[in-house]
Structure 1
Amino acid sequence: MENNFELEKYIDDHSSPEDEVLYELNRETNISILRPRMLSGHIQGLLLEMLTTMIRPKRILEIGTFTGYSALCMAKGLSDDGILHTIELNDELEWIAQKYFAKAGLQDQIKQHIGDACQIIPTLNETFDFIFLDGNKREYCRYYELVFDKLRPGGYILADNILWDGKVVQEVDQRDSQTIGILEFNEMVKNDQRVRQVILPLRDGLSLIRKL
């Protein structure tokens, strides 16, 4: 455990620093919000920024805003006329995300939706270049089905928490619907001939999926 901590510290120390707005958001989330571990954090945030900067998407969809950290990171890579749609079920988190979107000067490029993603996604008349799944793990397969036709050919889906604290390689308790949801999603993507995919062992696991 100590070696893992030292390695994570080394990675953090040798990566580009967290910008001021993200640092403030990280700190406020940890001080005032329940389950702050749900925040993407510095290193995963940098990866999101790098990926979207390479792709330069015009439209991004995020399922699971939480306090807005990942949305801010991805929005940095938007094209100049790009828009990021982000969906969050918990309306009590809307204020903190709005606050930091404004602080970053990105409020005009980030459109917040509050409610059930499974109901909101069909109402979005958009074609997306990049989609980030970080919502209810029980619904990952449903999200995938709902967003797939809205993703352009050559576009990307990035799904978070794919390794789920290592539970994907442990005996599964049949009452653990979140682990079952992740396992079913991983199998669905693995068997989908319409995509290419790779699992990245960063934090809790990321599945990078490219639509053919």
Structure 2
Amino acid sequence: MYLAAMFFLPKDLDDYIVNHSQDEPQILKDLTRETHLKVLQPIMLSGAYQGRVLSMISHLRAPKRVLEIGTFTGYSAICLMEGMPDGSELVTIDINEELEDFAAAYLTRFRESGKNQITVHQKNGDATEIIPQLEGTFDLVFIDADKPNYVTYFHQIMEKVTSGSLIISDNVLWHGKVVEDVKPKDSSTPVLLEYNRLLKEDSRLQTVLLSVRDGLTLSRVL
């Protein structure tokens, strides 16, 4: 049983794991602080530990073209950019136009640090309408947006990936609700249950669900 919204392990054990993983860079500490001061629902941030996981995966994959569905304030985008090589491209989508300038400021600050020469395209609007209009394919896709559309995103992004592409899905344990009785007015959990099943059963994918934070699934396109 989980102890709090984001803890599936005892808090002291979770703290030990974080303390023995790479520290997040200063820019992400600043972003986290400002998000908590100025933005509603700061819990939507990926967080230090998950951020280091995303950074590690990105370094291992070294993606040249990344699609992120759900920018929020830009934390996960920066984590992914850490492992992207020079000359790569990030497309990040969020429906909340009010956060566009907030995220853009941090993405620009990261790019100006000299670590990466990355082209960033921020798109605000309904991702289900934007994704079909995107040209080309992506080496890595990170999904961390509205849960009722996860299945729709799945079908759309499968048209935008090729063999070797990596799909990372966040919040797939949904605060433990995936193993509880679904409440009548809950529109998110049934979709996540279907989504998790799709990832497991699709013969085009190799999938593993990790108990990182609120659940992080890695799916490699075969």
Q: What band does the TM-score fall into relative to the shorter chain?
A: over 0.9
Coordinate RMSD, CA, aligned: 1.5
Aligned residues: 212
Q: In the alignment, which residue of structure 1 is the partner of 2:38?
A: 32
Q: Distance in 2 between matches of 1:189 and 1:68?
A: 26
Where relative contact order (Cα < 8 A, 6+ residues apart) is larger, the structure is: 2
Corresponding residue SS for 1:177:
coil
Shift of 1:54: 0.7
| Runs of 4+, deviation exceeding 3 Å | none
Do the aligned partners of 2:170 and 2:217 also contact (CA within 8 Å) in 1?
yes
- Equivalent residue of 1:104, what SS? helix
Aligned counterparts of 2:24 and 2:204: Cα–Cα separation in 1: 36
Counterpart check, 1:103 vs 2:109: yes
Q: Secondary structure at the match of 2:111?
A: coil
**Residue deviations 1:81-130, cap 9 Å, x none?**
10110000010111110110111126853210000000100111021000
Structure 2: state its 5+ residue gaps. none
Q: Is the partner of 2:190 in helix, strand or coil? A: helix
1:62-95 deviation line (CA, Å, top 9, x unaligned): 0000000000000111121101100000101111
Bigger mean CA offset, 108-117 vs 194-203: 108-117
* Correspondences of 1:169-180 after superposition (within 5 Å): 169-180=179-190
The one of 193, 199, 204 aligned to 2:209: 199
TM (normalized to structure 1)? 0.96
The one-letter amino acid paired with 1:151 is V
1:139 offset after TM fit, Å? 0.4
Alpha carbons 2:147, 2:188 under 8 Å: kept: yes
Gaps of 5+ in 1: none
- Structure 1 residue aligned with 2:67: 61
Aligned pair partner of 2:55 in 27, 30, 49: 49
